[in-house]
Amino acid sequence: MTSVTSRETLLRAALVMMGLLTSLPALALASASVLETTYGVNDPEPMTLALLRHRGMLQLLLGAALIWAAFFTPARKAAAIAAVTGKSTFLLLILPDPALRAELTPFSTVVDLTCIVALTVLVLLQDQLRATWRGLRRTNAR
């Protein structure tokens, strides 16, 4: 039972951490200066500021979904697919353009790529992990 509990605890911790990191752009809702650190955007025009703050809110919602999925297993697959889709789209829009890529912080790229890989593995292995953990629980219960 200990290995099942520790694996679940590790998975929950990873989802919570990914959720918190995903939510960081929401800080732009409180202070536009955050945009300079995260996106290299300095003194944006009002529409750009509104769009980036809106993106922050969407990232907050996505991060909250990942945190929720840490504790509500039926939500894991949907939250993971949503996060992989959103993060992949962002990187596919930014990385091919050398000018945009130069302005993106390495932290954002590393975090997004790490989340994409981890969440893809979670989606692909979720059913297998669930079956393995169920089998371990039954074995340890005996």
Q: At what angle do helices 76-94 and 106-141 cross, to 10 degrees?
A: 160
Helix/strand/coil (H/E/C) assignment for every residue in the chain: CHHHHHHHHHHHHHHHHHHHHHHHHHHHHCCCCHHHHHHCCCCCCHHHHHHHHHHHHHHHHHHHHHHHHHHCHHHHHHHHHHHHHHHHHHHHHHCCCHHHHHHCCHHHHHHHHHHHHHHHHHHHHHHHHHHHHHHHHHHHHC
- Tens of pLDDT along the chain (142 residues) come to 456 588 889 999 999 999 999 999 999 999 888 888 777 788 889 999 999 999 999 999 999 999 999 999 999 999 999 999 999 999 999 999 999 888 888 888 899 999 999 999 999 887 776 666 666 666 666 6
**pLDDT tens per residue across span 16-29:** 999 999 999 999 99
Closest CA to 8 of 63, 70, 78, 81: 70
Name the token pair of 22.
């995903």
> How many CA within 13 A on the CB side of residue 125?
10
Quote the CA–CA distance of 24 and 81 in Å, as a whole number: 19
Q: Given this model, what pLDDT does residue 128 score?
A: 74
